[in-house]
């Protein structure tokens, strides 16, 4: 997408077909995984279809955590859904990160799979997401920019002792 803080791109919307495909993949994999990154914020926010601005949260890839004991269960599911392993520069140093990709008529879907336990909560649609304060701590390490609307809003809500789950602030440009 480029720099999300680029003023010329602040009003760009995500491609609705790409969102539909990504959301379908998250829902299909939900029984095995905990969702992180931009898709976690997507499911923590109230429904906002048709108004998915790039500044809200990132949908370039799908960040997932899977419990180590459940990783062997997930692999045949990924294969059945058309995913294949993609090698990254991190493969030589990581024993808990794997990238999977699928390229088909519906488009390209990238899954970044982290094999480790993370605290989680249930969000919209019964999707498990990384617990918000833990998710915030991942920015600058596992996830990219923390300048997205959802991250900034969640940080402010958590600082006041409020849960970001279901909050419209996650998809509302601050005044």
Q: What is the pLDDT of residue 3?
A: 43
Q: Answer yes or no: is 1 within a domain.
A: no
CATH code, domain with 24 = 3.10.450.620
Q: Answer yes or no: is 73 within a domain.
A: yes
Q: 114 in helix, strand or coil? A: strand
* Contact criterion met (CB below 8 Å) for 101 and 112: no
Structure tokens at 93: 């140093």
d(CA 122, CA 89): 32
Structure tokens at 169: 């602030």
Domain count, the chain: 1
Q: What is the pLDDT of residue 148?
A: 75
Q: Answer yes or no: is 3 within a domain.
A: no
- Segments forming the whole domain that contains residue 68: 11-171
- Host H or E run for residue 101: strand 97-104
Pick the closest to residue 14 from 168, 165, 23 (CA basis).
Answer: 23
Q: What is the pLDDT of residue 50?
A: 67
* Contact criterion met (CB below 8 Å) for 99 and 60: no
Specify the pTM: 0.87
Q: What is the pLDDT of residue 91?
A: 74
Q: Answer yes or no: is 103 within a domain.
A: yes
d(CA 136, CA 87): 27
Sheet bearing 107-115, strands edge to edge = 84-86, 97-104, 107-115, 62-66, 34-36, 128-130, 120-122
Q: What is the pLDDT along the chain (175 residues), one digit of tens a residue?
A: 334 456 676 677 777 788 888 899 999 999 999 999 889 988 998 887 767 766 666 767 899 999 999 999 999 999 999 999 999 887 777 789 999 999 988 788 999 999 999 999 999 999 999 999 999 998 765 555 656 778 888 899 999 999 999 988 887 876 6
């Amino acid at each position: 997408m480029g720099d999300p803080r680029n003023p010329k791109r602040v009003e760009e919307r995500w491609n609705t077909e790409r969102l539909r495909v990504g959301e379908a993949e998250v829902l299909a994999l939900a029984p095995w995984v905990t969702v992180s990154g931009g898709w976690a914020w997507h499911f923590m926010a109230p429904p906002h279809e048709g108004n998915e601005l790039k500044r809200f949260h990132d949908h370039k890839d799908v960040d997932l955590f899977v419990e180590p004991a459940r990783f062997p269960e997930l692999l045949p599911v990924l294969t059945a859904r058309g995913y294949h392993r993609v090698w990254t520069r991190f493969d030589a140093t990581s024993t808990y990160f794997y990238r999977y990709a699928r390229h088909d008529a519906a488009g390209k879907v990238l899954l970044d799979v982290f094999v480790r336990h993370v605290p989680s909560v249930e969000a919209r649609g019964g999707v498990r997401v990384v617990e918000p304060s833990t998710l915030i701590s991942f920015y600058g390490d596992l996830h990219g920019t923390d300048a997205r609307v959802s991250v900034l809003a969640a940080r402010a809500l958590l600082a006041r002792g409020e849960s970001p789950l279901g909050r419209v602030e996650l998809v509302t440009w601050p005044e």
